[in-house]
Structures are given as C-alpha cells and as structure tokens.
Chains A and B, each alone.
Chain A
Amino acid sequence: MKKTVTNANESWKSQDLSGMKRRDFFKLLGGGIFIFFQPWDPFELFDLQTQQRRSLPTEFNAFLQIAEDGRVNCYTGKIEMGQGAITSLVQIMADELEVPFEKVKMVMGDTDLCPWDGGTSGSNTIRTFSPRMRVAAAEAKTVLMQLGSDYLHVPVSQLQVKDGIISDIKNNKSKVSYGELAKGKSIEKHLDGKPELKDYAKFKYVGKPYLHQDARIKVTGEAKYSADIHLPGLLHARILRPPSHGAKLLTADVSEAENIKGIQVVRDGDLVAVLSDDRDKVDQAITKVKAEYSYDEIKVDDKSIFDRILKADSKANVVESNGDIETGKKNSDIITESEFYNSYVAHAPIEPHAATAVIEGDKINVWVSTQAPFRAQETIAREMNIPLEKVRIITPFVGGGFGGKSPHAQAVEAVKLAKITGKPVVVAWTRREEFFYDTFRPAAVVRITSGMDKTGRITFWDFNTYYAGSRGSETIYDVPNARTTNYSGGSVHPFGTGAWRAPGNNTNTFARESHINIMASKAGIDPLDFRLKNLKDEKMIAVLKAAADKFGYTPARNPSGRGYGIACGTDVGTLVAHIAEVRVDKNTGKVQVVRVACAQDMGLCVNPQGTTIQMEGCITMGIGYALTEEIQFQGGDIRNHSFDTYEIPRFSWVPKIDTVIIDRKDQVPHGGGEPAIICMGAVIANAVFDSTGARLFQLPMTPERILAAIKNT
C-alpha cells in the first residue's frame, strides 16, 4: 500500500489530472479524504496502450471522496444510460463504507472532474469496476477508523461504525461523524493492495432491491440530456448529408438557403451546415441546399451480403480447440450440418446522437450523448488540434446506448460549428441521420457441423463464425472433439458496424442453440433433456432447471405442437437460460411471443430490482432482432429512415416475462446488462419449430421467411 498523507498547503506534484492541475482540482472539490483506485487489473486493461499514450496519471482511474460534510462522492468516467449503475454502485459504496444510501453520490462522465475511463460497455461497470470501488471504499473506512481512533482516543478495535458515525463500543456518547473527521483535511491515498472487505452476510444495501435513483427527475422532465442544454445565443445546426456511404461531395449550391432570413450557412471543406436559433427553420433550410455527389456503386444489398461474407478474404482464428474433429466424425452415428444468417441490426436508441458545444476562451465545453466521454475528448482534441485539457466533455443522462453511442461524430460536428460561428451550437441528429450513421450489429453467417452417437451424446462440434465476432462462440457443451473458428478481417461491410448489446453473442447463440435443437429432434430427445445430457457445467444445468421450473416445462420431442422453445448461453461471465412459448399464425406467418421464463446466474447480484429490469429489457429488445429488425440497403444507401420501415418492439409484442435470479452471494458479480438478450433468436426459432415443424435459419424471422419455411416442411 502506497500512502501519501499531505495537507493542502504543500506543493502538489505537477501532475495533470484530467486536464486540471491538482491544485485546481482540490480547490474545485474541496477538502476531505480521497482514495484513488483503478477499476481493473492494469494487465487486463484492454486499451492500456491508449491510456498510456495520454499524459494522464496511469495509477488510477477513479476515486472517491469523503467530503467535509460527510457525503461520499465517487468520481468515475462511467456514464448512466438506463442500465442503473447510478443506483447499484451507490448500494455497494454505502455498504462498504457503512454510510446511509442517501449520502452517496456518483459523479459520472465529466472529463474535468473524473479520471480517465475507457467507456461504459461490455457490462464492465459492475463486474470489473465495482470490485475495485469496493476495495477503495473499504480502504476509506480503514482511514476513517484510524482517524476516529485518534480523535476519540480509543483503539480501533474498540470502535464501531453505523451510518457514517464512529462510536466507542464501551461509551456510545463518545462518537464522531465521517464529516467531522474529514473536515479541514486533504488526505490522499492510492490503492494497490487489498484491504479486508465486508462480509457479504453483513450487507445492508447490496442484494436488496432498489428502484432507479434517477427516476424522479426522469418522470418530471427535469433530467437533462445532451440536446437539452440552454445556452445564450444557441444555434441549431443541420448538416448536409450524402445519399450513400462512400459518396463524395462534388458541388453544393447554398444560395437559396442563404437567402432565407435568419439562416447562417457554413462551409468548411465537406462540412456544409445551416444554422439558426430555430430548429424548424434549419430543418426547412437544409432541404434548399442542392448538392451533387459522386460515388462508386457498391454491388451488395441485404440479400447478397451473406454471399459476400462467405467469399470475403477473411482471416481464420481458432478461438478454441480440443480433441480431434476427424476422430469425432468417425465416432458419430448422425452428422448435422447447418448454416445460419443474421442481418444488420440498428441500435435505434430513442435519443438520437446529440451534442451541444460552447467555446469559452481557449476551452471547449461539450455536452455529449456518449458511452465514452474520454474517447470523445481525445477525438475532439485531435480534430481541433488542441491539448486534451482544453476539451471538457460533460455527459448528462444518455437516452439509450446499447453500444451505439461509443462513436461520437456529432460532438466533433458541434465543436467545429461552434468554432466557426463563434456561438454555442447544438447538433441533434434526426432519426434518419441516426439510422444512416449507426454502427450496425454486423450481418453474419455461422456454419456448424456436428456429430452424435446413437444415444444422443455429442461426439464432435465444428463451429465457424463469419463476421459476427467471437464473443459467445465457444462450446458450452461437454464435447470431446470441438473447434471454434472465427473469421474476420478484410472489407466486407459497406458502412459502419460496431458493438451491439452483447456483440457477437446474439448471432453465435442463435446458431449454436438452434443447431442443438436440430440435433435433439434428430435424436428424438426432448431439447431440455438433450442439453442436460450433454452438459457438464453445474451452473448451466442449474439455470436450465430453474428456467424450466419457472416455466412449468414438461419434456416432449420437438415438434410437439405446443410452441415451446429453449436456449441457454453465457455472456460476460453470466449464465442464462430461456424458455419461451409462441403462437404462430400459419396463414400470415406472424409470431406472437406469449411468455418467456428466464433464469440468470450472475454471481453476486447487487441490485435484484435493477437486474430484473435489465433481464426484462433484454428479453423485450431481443424480440425485435428475432422477428423484425433488419437494415435494408443497396450498397451504401441505407433504406430505413425511421420506425415505419424499421420496426422495434411495441407494447402488443411484449410477452409475460418471468425471471429467476440465482444469487451467489459468495461470488464476484458478473455482467447484467447484456446476457439475457443473447438467447432471444434461438429461443423463438426453437419455439417456432416446436409449433410448426418449420426451421428458421435466418434472423429476423419475418412473416415471409416463416411462411416460406412452413411451405418447405
């Protein structure tokens, strides 16, 4: 443990702290006790290199403060986008520090106040950030107990603490609050050890259901998002957009737009924008700009993309290999081959990307709808050719991310326009822009060849995933000869793709779990029994049984006509199993998901309420990619412009949802924002098969595809 105890009058190391000198930093935050920590093992930090390129301190990327008024503030570059971290992190902190829940505040996503962070993604907030935050809180408590001991002249062993007040066990009139102890102090500690953590059995807040702490300001309209920032002289901007990805601007005639009263036109290279203090006026003015583009036609569309993927110049990377596929083939009685497809899927958060920028002196302040404020800061500093500390990103509430708000082009646009006009500028993308510039979940293909013996034991498993990504591609079953190969690289997608809630795993789980059901049917075994027969992982067996119990599942060979589907998988350390019931209209091909039971083992469950809500959200969102969501395109031209042609789940689609959390208090917490979505393709496809005998190999399972599959049976 490296300890530095100093007071505010001593000269601080001239170290850059997110753009601020330490002196400024403490002036801004006031005194108190500060514990600096890193949310994860630096050797595991996936973007360590990026972090080291910066001049920022590398020894921590978050800290907590016991303020002089006794409040606890935790400063982190993580953001709140509906996943509920603002609530669950507070529970952990309150417990470990033994302070009232209401005394803890998360300060999130502000690059001036918070230390560097890679971004909010991969369900990392609880599983990798919170364990270190717990250690920091435990350390803070150790410091406070020592201070309390000095103050009360009683040994630490004779002290107790409750609700932020330390008292003498033998004389409860002898007491002192955290706030009193922190008063007038500037104590700084850097964590590199592991203080003793509180026994989970003593948790008062962790493990209890807590409602969203930000709910009140969200139901009154007070909660601010990035386009809600009121600044004097604020200009609304609309930007000229190309008709297709890859199009180059040749000419732009802005004369008609320029003649509209109150419209300012900006041209800066390819950036052509109209600005006004009225949004409606710029919406009209942008249609008056006449532009010509040149572009090479990319000969691919939403139908031919799968062929392009399979023929692409890809690199094969073996993700996992055990035993020998050829040996497995020799030991097989039944061999099954199948090929699965899924289309591009949009993130479609209800809040489109937005940013409000204002330049004050040599400092740029930007409110950005982003999952990665520090990356936005880096991009803007690079684009504007200014030092990092001259850019401050403030992340208010984010109106949904799902992986799509890691890119932040809108922030660069707002800053450029603010610089050129000399006024604050808001760039709030239209829904059409949101669809056009989205980084879609990639279209992908999965090929599986597998074998089993007469008893239904899997003998080999050869899983090949093309352009989905490797997450969730490993075999979860107990197979003696298994190989997983991930194909990627080269130029395949005619537009941007990126992480989409549980990246890769939705595609891979759809393929694996559909294929398992195909095998179960061939073996004449109920699909739950078939899984149990081929699983060794006790945790996976437990979640499957829990889901079956909740659902009231009884075994039957498929297709049974009941419309029951089953699927299971793992994501970010968490195990999930789903059982669904569907109704299929055989005349129209329309599917109604009637009910879904889902069991989840995420280790320690910090907030069962938040977890349940995430599971419900995953199941609901997942129905969309399973049944309707598919980007239609011709080359770089995205044909979906709004929610009329790109249909996301509505109230009438939502099934009865039952959830079970297998809470393992003695274990570390795993991810909760993504796992319960991964099975939604397979669980519905398997239920459709059980209902109709028709097997769907492509997502989404549109009515047309279902009717075609029924016709083929």
Chain B
Amino acid sequence: MEETIRFEINGKKSEMLLDPTLTLLWVLRNKFGLTGTKYGCGLGFCGACTVLLEQEAVRSCMLPVSDASNKKIVTIEGLAHNGNLHPVQKAFIEHDALQCGYCTPGMIMNAVGLLLKNPEPSQQEVIKGMEGNLCRCGAHVRIIKAIQSAGKEMKGGK
C-alpha cells in the first residue's frame, strides 16, 4: 500500500515511503515539520493550506501526496532566501496586511501564485485571484494593496 514518494520541497530533495492517499497538508506539517501551512477547513474552502506546486497555488488539504510526487513544492518557509524575504512577505509587513496571522501563509502563497501568472494585476484581478482565501480578522483592504505593491516591486526586478 505504501509507496516511495519523491519530494522537492523548498529546493530540498528527499524521498519517503508513504501511504499515497495521505494529504499533502498533513505530510508537510507532520513529516517535514513545515507547520507554516495551516489547516483551516480541510475542504478547500478557506485557502489557509495553500502551497505552490510547480509554481501554481494549490490547496494542500485536498491534494493526495502522490500527486505531489516528483514535483516542486514551495511552502511559506521556502519563500525567503538567506534571510531575505520574498517581496510579497515584505509587502505584507509594510502594509500591515495581517492580524492574527493564521490565514497569512495561505494568503501569501496564493498571492505569489497569482503574481507568477499575472505580474501586475489590477485591483479587480487581485480581488478575483484572492476571492477563495478567507480572512476573519478583516485584513482584506491591506492584503490587496500589499499584493499590488509586491507585484510592482517584482516587476521592477528587485
């Protein structure tokens, strides 16, 4: 029943013998200790578990780990390089685009996925792209501004 799953998580390669039906969310959290990826609803409704799979934002709570085998995964812990934050992370701090912080990793990963597809989204495009990510504290207006400013910075090649 178990099979070898090959991972490339945040640039690091590894393999593990796993039940292929386990969800990527709990494998990341429990087998790799990457607890920045959060459980929010387990049904893909809230986006707290969002990670990048081959540069695309996906809901890790809905993804069997076998679907992630041999694919590049980036979690919130893998965005910064050598202590330098990703422009989206920086923009979230500068715009104070969070309160309790629990939805924040999913928001950031979804935003990074969005900017990879559309580097300079309009406000309406940001709203559309983020619509499936829920925040209960109400940081929405700031998140929209943060994503737009990060997009501009990334386009400027910084």
A278→B142 contact, CB < 8 A: no
Given the interface pairs A82-B100, A215-B98, the reply to whether A651 lies near B35 with Cβ below 8 Å is no
| Chain A stretch 619-671: residues in CB contact (< 8 A) with chain B | 619-621, 642-644, 648-652, 654, 657
Which residues of A have CB within 8 Å of B85? 216, 219-220
Cβ contact of A84, chosen from B21, B99, B108, cutoff 8 A: B99
A82→B127 contact, CB < 8 A: no
A643→B46 contact, CB < 8 A: yes
Chain A residues bordering chain B, tally (CB within 8 A) = 59
> How many angstroms from the CA of A402 to the CA of B93 in the assembled complex?
23
What secondary structure prevails in chain B residues at the interface with A?
Answer: loop
Cβ contact of A649, chosen from B19, B48, B138, cutoff 8 A: B138
Verify if A214 is at the interface (C-beta below 8 Å from B). yes
Which residues of B have CB within 8 Å of A649? 138, 140
> How many angstroms from the CA of A619 to the CA of B128 in the assembled complex?
21
Given the interface pairs A219-B93, A398-B100, A642-B41, the reply to whether A620 lies near B36 with Cβ below 8 Å is no
Which residues of A have CB within 8 Å of B35? 221, 224-225, 227-228, 230
Which residues of B have CB within 8 Å of A211? 93-94, 96
Number of A-B residue pairs at CB separation under 8 A: 179
Interface 9-residue window, one of A310-318, A360-368, A609-617: A609-617
B93 CB to nearest A CB, Å = 4
A219→B92 contact, CB < 8 A: yes
Verify if B52 is at the interface (C-beta below 8 Å from A). no
A279→B41 contact, CB < 8 A: no
| Shortest Cβ distance from A429 into B: residue | B39
| Chain B stretch 43-60: residues in CB contact (< 8 A) with chain A | 43, 45-46, 48
Verify if A687 is at the interface (C-beta below 8 Å from B). no
| Chain B stretch 36-80: residues in CB contact (< 8 A) with chain A | 36-43, 45-46, 48, 75-77, 79-80
Verify if A399 is at the interface (C-beta below 8 Å from B). yes
B136→A402 contact, CB < 8 A: yes
A241 CB to nearest B CB, Å = 15
| Chain A stretch 333-381: residues in CB contact (< 8 A) with chain B | 348-352
- A interface footprint on B127-139 (CB within 8 Å = 1, 0 otherwise): 1101111111111
> How many angstroms from the CA of A219 to the CA of B35 in the assembled complex?
13
Which residues of A have CB within 8 Å of B33? 230
Verify if A61 is at the interface (C-beta below 8 Å from B). no
B138→A212 contact, CB < 8 A: no
- B interface footprint on A379-406 (CB within 8 Å = 1, 0 otherwise): 0000000000000000001111110000
A275 CB to nearest B CB, Å = 13
Chain B residues bordering chain A, tally (CB within 8 A) = 59
A349→B100 contact, CB < 8 A: yes
Which residues of A have CB within 8 Å of B22? 278, 280-281
Given the interface pairs A280-B22, A621-B136, A643-B46, the reply to whether A220 lies near B36 with Cβ below 8 Å is yes
B45→A219 contact, CB < 8 A: no
B29 CB to nearest A CB, Å = 8
Verify if A420 is at the interface (C-beta below 8 Å from B). no
B88 CB to nearest A CB, Å = 8
Verify if B154 is at the interface (C-beta below 8 Å from A). no
Which residues of B have CB within 8 Å of A648? 134, 136
Which residues of B have CB within 8 Å of A562? none
B96→A643 contact, CB < 8 A: no
B140→A620 contact, CB < 8 A: yes
B98→A651 contact, CB < 8 A: no
Q: Would you list the 4 A-B pairs with minimal beta carbon distance, nearest first?
A: A221-B36, A399-B102, A82-B100, A620-B138
| Chain A to chain B contacts (Cβ below 8 Å), 26 pairs | A83-B99, A212-B93, A212-B98, A212-B99, A215-B92, A215-B93, A215-B96, A219-B85, A221-B35, A278-B19, A279-B30, A350-B46, A350-B100, A350-B103, A352-B40, A431-B43, A431-B45, A613-B99, A617-B138, A619-B138, A621-B138, A642-B41, A644-B43, A648-B134, A651-B143, A652-B128
A binding-site residues for B, Cβ under 8 Å: 81-84, 211-212, 214-216, 218-225, 227-228, 230, 236, 277-281, 283, 348-352, 397-402, 428, 430-431, 609, 613, 616-621, 642-644, 648-652, 654, 657
